[in-house]
Amino acid sequence: MLGYSDEKIVGNRIDFGEWGVASSGNASNVVLFNEALDRLWAQLKHDASSGRPLRKYASKKKDGPRSTDIFGLMQCTPDLPEIECYICLSDAVNYIQRYFDGRRGARVIFPSCNISYEDYKFFDATVSLAQPSFPSSTQSPRLSPLAPSGKHNVTTIVVTVVATFSVVILVVVFFCVFLRRKTKLEPLQQKTLAYEDVGLEDIITAESLQYSFDVIRAATDDFSENNKLGKGGFGLVYKGMLRNGQEIAVKRLSKDSGQGKVEFKNEVLLLAKLQHRNLVRLLGFSIEGSERLLVYEFVRNASLNQFIFDFGMARLFTPEETQGNTSRIVGTYGYMAPEYVMHGQFSVKSDVFSFGVLVLEVVTGHTNHSFQNETMTEDFLSHAWKSWRDGTSISLIDPTLIDGSNSVPDIIKCINIGLLCVQDDIIERPTMALVVLMLSSLSINLAAPLEPAFFMRTFKYSDKHFSVEYTYSTNKSRPSESKPKSSQPSIAS
pLDDT bracket for residue 256 (50, 70, 90): low
Q: How far apart are CA 326 and CA 414, in angstroms?
A: 32
Residue 481: its pLDDT value, please? Answer: 35
The neighbouring-strand residues paired with 248 are 240, 297
Does residue 16 register a pLDDT over 80? no
pLDDT (mean) for 268-296: 73
Encode burial over 319-331: b for 16+ CB neighbours within 10 A, e otherwise: eeeeeeeeeeebb
d(CA 86, CA 49): 5
Instruction: Give me the pLDDT at residue 358, please.
Output: 87
pLDDT band at 275 (very low <50, low <70, confident <90, very high): low
Rounded to the nearest 10°, the torsion over CA 196, 200, 203, 205 is -130
| pLDDT of amino acid 286 | 86
pLDDT of residue 261: 59
Tens-digit pLDDT profile for residues 25-80? 888 888 899 999 999 999 999 999 888 777 889 999 998 888 889 999 999 998 88
pLDDT cut 70: percent of the chain above it: 60
Interaxial angle between packed helices 82-99 and 30-49, expressed in degrees from 0 to 180 and rounded to the nearest 10: 160
pLDDT class of 138 with cuts at 50, 70, 90: very low
pLDDT at 411 over 50: yes
What pLDDT does 208 receive? 66
| Mean pLDDT calculated for residue range 93-111 | 90
pLDDT of residue 5: 67
Give start and end residues of each alpha helix (H) in 299-399: 338-343, 348-364, 380-389
Binding site members: 251
| Region for residue 37 given its phi and psi (left: phi exceeds 0; alpha: psi -120 to 50; beta: otherwise) | alpha
Question: Is the pLDDT score of 319 beyond 60?
Answer: no
Measure the CA–CA gap between 475 and 206, rounded to whole angstroms. 46
> Residue 219: pLDDT band by 50, 70, 90 thresholds?
very high
* Spatial CB neighbours of 289, under 8 Å, sequence gap ≥ 6: none
Where does the pLDDT of residue 371 fall: very low under 50, low under 70, confident under 90, or very high at 90 and above?
A: low
Q: Give φ, ψ of 174 to 5 degrees.
A: -60, -45
As annotated, the binding site for ATP includes 251
223 pLDDT higher than 50: yes
CA distance 8 to 14: 10
Comparing 93-97, 144-148, 209-213, 438-442, the range with the smallest average pLDDT is 144-148
**pLDDT score for 334:** 67
What pLDDT, on a 0 to 100 scale, did the predictor assign at position 234?
65
Average pLDDT of span 321-340: 53
- Mean pLDDT highest for which of 294-308, 437-451, 469-483? 437-451
End-to-end Cα distance, the chain: 54
Q: With 70 as the cut, is the pLDDT of residue 486 above it?
A: no
Mean pLDDT of 311-326: 42
**Lowest mean per-residue pLDDT among 91-105, 165-179, 366-380:** 366-380
Mean pLDDT of 401-426: 85
Q: What percent of the chain has pLDDT over 90?
A: 16
pLDDT given for residue 301 in this prediction: 58
